[in-house]
Amino acid sequence: MDVIRSMLDEIEIPKFVRIRQSFDDTKIENIEEEISKQFKRDDIACTIKEGQTVGVTVGSRGLANLKEIVKYVCDNIKKLGATPVILPSMGSHGGAAAEGQAAFIRGLGVTEEFTGAKIWAGMDVIQLGTTETGLPVYYDKIASELDGVIVLGRIKAHTDLDGDIESGLHKMIVIGLGNHKGAQVMHAMGLDKAVPRLKSIARYALKHSNIIFGIGLLENAYDQTSEIVFLPTDQIADKEAELLAKSKNQLPRFLFNDIDILIVDEIGKNISGNGMDPNVIGRGMIGYKNKDIHINKIVTLDTTEESGSNAFGVGLSDITTKRIFNKLKTEAMYTNAITAIAINGVRIPIAMESDKLAIQLAIRAACSEEPKKLRIARIKDTLSLSEMYVSEGLIHELRSNENVEIIGEVNDFEFDEHGNFKK
């Protein structure tokens, strides 16, 4: 390590300033009121009868207001005289085990105590049938025995899928309610061929299962709930594409391009299925999600508390830290990677002893003759793009951007005695 340190210690890190990017901040002010209003619609209320038991899907992503939304949905099911139950629906996540999935959603705050509904977790499936192209359609066994299932999920651009349907209700049906088997079928031929399979399997399930309606959640660039859309079962297939297009326009993004080095403080499954969102960084498990995004080197510093030892997605970075490396437990990462055929995500980049050394290595690897002019951005995670740090090499350009505000003074980063960012 002394040899490596001697090679990097003298590399100067430029000064940085904090900026604020402005996006559309439209959001739902009263989520409870909005959900209650939707439940009063004739085409929704008629799907739930007194005395029934109705399941509500909950996935593994960190949706805005997730626990509150699930609680309000359960409250309204009760008002109609039925009993709600929560169905952990996340394919192979949680170690592809019922207990792991139940624990995962409790960790997101979706607990029995808060929602007033029991969690019924299981990994067994039934086969509803076979699509016209010969694909088996799997469906959660517990869900199949209920009087009805509400498919709840966020509609947004997927980390790797590229089409008119990506991440949303179709995916929740195929992978969430299909459990590990459904996920395997979906990913069998690779993510680049997955969208037609996703549509085919989901639409078969919509016609041959007990799904009574869907709830699509849209979020703005500030990770706030911007829209809650209740879709009768026969509208899900046609309407989700429209909602995805709307959601893509609300994605957080960099309001500048050609970044030499991107520093990401935290990666995690609660941030993105890939740890970092390819719609933000450009890189995905199967190549480039967005070729218009140009980032030369990516440095990842830590995993989120929620992800702990699962650093799935670290392989999308060029340089990481021993802090990530030393906490890795590969079983959950490998299960996810093998299921999704996304082995790029679990490759381990060169791991440095400290944040400072990781950044210094990135500067060296950028091979710039003028390090002070390097275009460097530092973000908390790929969900948090409202405020960030940028290097002095970007300041002149950003001062003329009406959607960017300089909100601090130009300063050096402060590191502790171990070379890590001061908290």
pLDDT for 128-148, tens place per residue?
A: 999 999 999 999 999 999 999
User: Strand, helix or coil at 221?
Assistant: coil
Q: Taking residues 62-70, report their average pLDDT.
A: 92
Q: Taking residues 151-170, report their average pLDDT.
A: 91
pLDDT at 188: 76
pLDDT at 92: 67
pLDDT at 151: 98
Tokens of 132: 């016209």
Q: What is the DSSP letter of 61?
A: S
Q: Answer whether residue 288 shows pLDDT above 80.
A: no
Q: Answer whether residue 269 shows pLDDT above 90.
A: no
pLDDT at 117: 98
DSSP 111-174: -HHHHSSEE-----EEEEEE-TTS-EEEEEHHHHTSSEEEEEEE-B--SS--SSS-BSHHHIII
pLDDT for 191-222, tens place per residue?
A: 677 899 999 999 999 999 999 999 999 999 88
What is the pLDDT confidence band of residue 3, given thresholds at 50, 70 and 90? confident
Q: Taking residues 319-329, report their average pLDDT.
A: 94
The Cα–Cα gap between 79 and 329 comes to 44
Name which residue leads in pLDDT, 127 or 222: 127
Instruction: List domains and CATH numbers for the chain.
Output: 2-23+253-406 (no CATH), 31-248 (3.40.50.11440)
Burial class (CB in 10 A: 0-12, 13-18, 19+), 64: buried
Largest pairwise CA distance in the chain? 72
What is the pLDDT confidence band of residue 289, given thresholds at 50, 70 and 90? low
Percent residues over pLDDT 90 in the chain: 72
Nearest one of 59, 27, 77, 65 to 213, comparing CA atoms: 77
Q: Answer whether residue 94 shows pLDDT above 90.
A: no
Q: Answer whether residue 95 shows pLDDT above 80.
A: no
The Cα–Cα gap between 15 and 232 comes to 54
pLDDT at 183: 87
Q: Taking residues 324-336, report their average pLDDT.
A: 86
pLDDT at 186: 84
pLDDT at 90: 85
The Cα–Cα gap between 34 and 226 comes to 11
pLDDT at 68: 98
Residue 231 CA: distances (Å) to CA of 42, 104, 179, 238, 244: 12, 27, 23, 10, 14
